[in-house]
Chains A and B, each alone.
Chain A
Amino acid sequence: MTEALPFYKTALWVTLKLAGIGIVFAIIIGLLCSVILYFKIRILTNIVRVYLEVARNTPLLIQLFFLYYGLPKIGIMFSEEQCGIIGLAFLGGSYMAEVFRSGMEAVSKTQVEAGKAIGLSNTQLMRNIIIPQAISYSVPGFGANCIFLIKETSVFSGIAIFELTNTTKNLMGIFYKTNEALLMLVIGYLIILLPLSLFLTWLERRVRHAEFGN
């Protein structure tokens, strides 16, 4: 099985890379959407709402198929990796938007009013008061989303990206060592997700202490 290790290393790296980039874009999209929803900006609010419903009610696999097989037919072509990242960002953005939005809503209204009373603008309110406090409310949900999105990379197998799951499938075909291959696969995900999970629990505690001293 040791011949297979380099493949696993690459697969691990691909999984991490695509998940990482996808998550970063998901965070950006999520932040934008949640700010729009919080301030109830006209027109954009409706667009965001439609986006959220569509992204959350369709499977990632279909989104990927549509991006990878469907769009080229009308002239828009993305590489597999690009499709993966776009799909993850599209899906992940909606989940992040939800988490950030509820984090912002959890910041007490009296804090926001106190900020208004000293003359802060909406941007200043968001930057100095709402977001710093929303972060500590958002960390648990944010962590759960990250774990979810990393797991979703397994779906990339459907469009021939060689992340962990797809690599394993092929290796099983080449080496016929089903049990070992699948064990490595599970270990692969554990390597990524266990440390992440521990880190997020630590982060949660740390941020809560910094904000509220408990």
Chain B
Amino acid sequence: MFEMLLATWRYRYFIASSIRNDFRSRFARSRLGAIWMILQPLAQVAIYAVVLSRVLSAKLPGVTSEYAYVIYLLSGMLGWSLFLELVSRSLTIFVDNAGLLKKIVFPKICLPLIVSGSALINNFLLLAATLGVFAMIGHNPGIHALWLCVLIPLTLAFSTGLGLVLGTLNVFIRDVAQVMSVILQLWFWLTPVVYMPSIVPGEFSQILAANPMYWIVSAYQDVLLFQRSPDIEHLAWVGLASLGLLAFALVLFRRSSAEMVDVL
């Protein structure tokens, strides 16, 4: 484990420059460059807002703002998009870089770190855009927004852990990526980003409670829209589970790493 940390430290320049290049190449040939990274989730929010606001905005108790539903969508999307980008990119990270892994010796753990760093930067851009929209519609999330300092790392840990496990498995069983693309869509609808948990029938609330993303997304909505502290007890459980998942991911990654290049 210590070796892995040391190797990562020696390759810090490579990790930094990879994240930078990731960013640069997005600017390279499209006019709007990285703006697309923010426009995509914002456009999604706009679509849901237009299509669903009539149906769902009445269901937001205790919020007076006429833009309540838009704020609700934006808050949830901030957490979900970080999760989605991390998981879907980590899923194919080793397979996509097969050529590099086969020819050049470098710590493989750099690859998921690059994805995490790059996703984090995209998420910060989205956060800035979200706060910009909030300012435009006159919504001030207040002091509770500082909870993001906890929520973002928590989302990062959970998503990276899950992504690394799936990415490692995908090297050996390529169906994982295919199955996951379906599961991620289903997962989005099992997480209250677009709708409110209050409209979920009682018998399904069990399923909702078992979904760690439910607690994460709810916490984003709590601190950005409802201006209240999130459900700390459940978040702590999610945090603990994330650490467990990360540890499991590292063990799996280390054990598999000798055979990984053999099958790539």
- Pairing of A with B: no
